Amino acid sequence: VARIGKILGIWTDVDISEDEYANVEWDGLGFGLVPTDYMYMNTCRGDQQFGEGQVSVFGNIQVSPSAGVLNYGQGLFEGTKAYRKENGHLLLFRPQENAIRMQIGAERMCMPSPSVDQFVDALKQTALANRRWVPPAGKGSLYLRPLLIGTGPVLGLAPAPEYTFLVYASPVANYFKEGTAPLNLYVEEEFDRASRRGTGSVKTISNYAPVLKAQMRAKTRGFSDVLYLDSATKKYVEEVSSCNIFIAKGKRITTPATNGTILAGITRKSVIEIAQDHGYEVEERGVAVDELAEADEVFCTGTAVGVAPVGTITYGAKRMEYKTGRATICQELHSTLSGIQTGTIQDNKGWVLEI
Ligand code: COI
């Protein structure tokens, strides 16, 4: 039994016994919301800093119809995961990186942001309060979704007078319906994801609804998702709706540089470092769409997606196929990263935080 926070405003001792699991069909998990017991909430005025937050029972939140986030999309989100080790202990992966990315995004979106310590503490409290929802080792993870949203009322276009930082959780397994099977992408030539000096590099909620149309169209046509090109020249690869992209040829791995239109993924950054440690030459630069035709392998990275192989990319009338499966670079990087995240491979980098 441990004191984890306030529930309905009262400091409460909650049973967080190690071996108690929620009633979940662990083998049936995908990436859909499975509501858990608790969420974390913290509210502050726009001209102040966040104070102490609290854990409360998971449920709907009340906001004014004129909340900044509802009317003008003033909001950011993050994504990170808690993993259960074989011995039952819980691990977070590089949570400080999410905190810093939220701070950078908040500055761009004119919002106050939690400190790194407040952010990491909120993740810990949310994961521990919901520990019976963390899947058994090997069955998935507890996805933690921090939100920073303008909840104060506005009518004219202006920063909201009040903000809410909250974290909720859901057990998850594979993101795509393909499971671990290779993805089939097509190069999106009609719609753009981000423009130069826009907010493509920021995890603002307003980057995500605009990609739904292309994503839905791709799925209707039997593809997993789309691959975006740069909006200025349509010559360079940018990213997929929900993840970054890498191409590999021989011992060289290339990924689009984070030049402002690409989300600076934490999985992306980690995979680059692991690949370098494994002796690959990693280039971060503009990746011409024509290079897709030369690649041996293509793979996607993201918190939700993990490290996922791409089997085919369709670009206009051309369909390109890539090596997938055993003895691939994608497989090697995936197993190293997930081994570190789940505690089966020793973390020599200080990436994992046991809570
Ligand atoms: C994540 O990978 O955590 C994301 O935030 C992407 C989201 C579209 C699921």
Distance 292 CA to ligand 1 centre (A): 24
State the number of CA atoms in the 13 A half-sphere of 321 facing the CB: 2
Q: For a substitution probing ligand 1, which of 305, 307, 337, 341 has the most ligand atoms within 8 Å of its CB?
A: 305
Q: What is the pLDDT of residue 17?
A: 44
- For residue 80, the ligand 1 atom closest to its alpha carbon is 3
**Cross-strand partners of 246:** 299
What whole-number distance in Å separates Cα of residue 264 and Cα of residue 259? 9
User: What tokens were used for 64?
Assistant: 């004014």
What whole-number distance in Å separates Cα of residue 93 and Cα of residue 81? 7
Distance 80 CA to ligand 1 centre (A): 8
Among the options 81, 124, 203, 251, which is catalytic? 203
User: What tokens were used for 81?
Assistant: 């995961």
Burial of 289 (0-12, 13-18, 19+ CB in 10 A): buried
C-alpha torsion sign, points 146, 152, 158, 159: negative
Pocket of ligand 1 (CB under 6 A): 79, 242, 302-305
Tens digit of each residue's pLDDT, the chain (355 residues): 455 555 555 555 555 444 589 999 999 999 999 999 999 999 999 999 999 999 999 999 999 999 999 999 999 999 999 999 988 899 999 999 999 999 999 999 999 999 999 999 999 999 999 999 999 999 999 999 999 999 999 999 999 999 999 999 999 999 988 888 999 999 999 999 999 999 999 999 999 999 999 999 999 999 999 999 999 999 999 999 999 999 999 999 999 999 899 999 999 999 999 999 999 999 999 999 999 999 999 999 999 999 999 999 999 999 999 999 999 999 999 999 999 999 999 999 999 999 9
Task: Give pLDDT tens digits for 310-334.
Answer: 999 999 999 999 999 999 999 999 9
Detail the DSSP E strand segments found in the chain: 2-7, 10-14, 38-45, 54-57, 75-77, 80-84, 90-93, 141-150, 162-172, 183-188, 225-229, 237-240, 244-249, 252-256, 281-285, 297-302, 306-315, 318-321, 352-354
Q: Whose CA is nearest to atom 5 of ligand 1?
A: 79
Distance 306 CA to ligand 1 centre (A): 10
Could you confirm whether 203 is annotated as catalytic? yes
Q: What is the pLDDT of residue 5?
A: 52
- For residue 203, the ligand 1 atom closest to its alpha carbon is 5
Distance 10 CA to ligand 1 centre (A): 33
- From the list 241, 265, 245, the residue with the least C-alpha distance to 253 is 245
Answer whether 300's CB lies under 8 Å from 268's CB. no
- For residue 303, the ligand 1 atom closest to its alpha carbon is 2
- For residue 241, the ligand 1 atom closest to its alpha carbon is 8
What whole-number distance in Å separates Cα of residue 314 and Cα of residue 217? 14
